[in-house]
């Protein structure tokens, strides 16, 4: 039995994520925690997020989790979801500028197309740019659920594994070493989302 730790810093949809993981991994120990030692001792880490980058960084600082996240994202399977993707990058335009964790090189920018509704909310097609274990048994151009007003602009296109078109093509999934992170919400994306979480639970990077 493995332990999967969902990082709880007050900004993520942790209960839906926990319920989905317990469904796909009923024999594993799924915990929700903001305690560094719990995260350090877990086998896999899920880093969800909702709300603002600025608020998320302040919450991570409050719980002394920044160094913990940097350490664990470097040495075990690590899944970022929504703001949990954005926080991995260097900087965001949100709140007149917010510093990220600088685990991945790039920035987070706001949608600027006046012809689209912001936030981007609802179901949209995810184009699988490159093969990855986490895409196993998920058809290309499957639908996933998103809620966000900002998107990432990475400095290295090699990390891009999925894209969504919403006025523009933007990065919806990135992978680097043992990190996989998505802009959409697999826990809200029905069967394909559950399949992605199943793949994460079994992934051996």
61 catalytic? Reply is no
Q: Are 67 and 100 in contact (CB under 8 A)?
A: no
Alpha-carbon distance of 23 to 193, in angstroms, equals 12
Alpha-carbon distance of 154 to 80, in angstroms, equals 15
Region of 102 please: left (phi>0), alpha (psi -120 to 50) or beta.
left
187 catalytic? Reply is yes
Alpha-carbon distance of 111 to 92, in angstroms, equals 12
- Exposure of 57 by Cβ count < 10 A (0-12 exposed, 13-18 middle, 19+ buried)? buried
Query: How many beta carbons lie within 10 A of that of residue 195, not counting itself?
Result: 20
82 catalytic? Reply is yes
Considering only CA atoms, which of 152, 142, 159, 147 is closest in space to residue 193?
142
Catalytic residue among 82, 94, 120, 148: 82
Q: Are 133 and 78 in contact (CB under 8 A)?
A: no
The residues annotated with a catalytic role in the active site are: 82, 185, 187
């Amino acid at each position: 039995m493995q332990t999967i730790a969902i990082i709880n810093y007050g900004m993520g949809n942790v209960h839906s994520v926990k319920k989905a993981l317990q469904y796909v991994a009923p024999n594993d120990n799924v915990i929700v925690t903001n305690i560094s030692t719990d995260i350090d001792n877990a086998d896999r880490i899920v880093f969800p997020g909702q709300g603002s980058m600025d608020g998320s960084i302040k919450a991570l600082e409050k719980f002394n989790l920044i160094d913990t996240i940097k350490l664990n994202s470097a040495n075990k399977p690590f899944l970022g979801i929504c703001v949990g993707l954005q926080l991995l990058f260097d900087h965001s335009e949100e709140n007149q500028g917010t510093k990220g964790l600088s685990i991945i090189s790039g920035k987070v920018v706001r949608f600027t197309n006046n012809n689209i509704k912001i936030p981007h909310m609802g179901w949209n097609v995810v184009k699988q740019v490159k093969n990855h274990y986490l895409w196993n048994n998920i058809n290309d151009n499957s639908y996933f659920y998103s809620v966000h007003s900002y998107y990432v602009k990475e400095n290295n296109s090699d990390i891009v594994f999925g894209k969504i078109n919403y006025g523009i093509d933007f990065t919806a999934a990135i992978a680097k070493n043992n990190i996989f992170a998505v802009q959409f919400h697999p826990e809200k994306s029905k069967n394909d989302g559950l399949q992605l979480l199943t793949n994460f639970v079994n992934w051996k990077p």
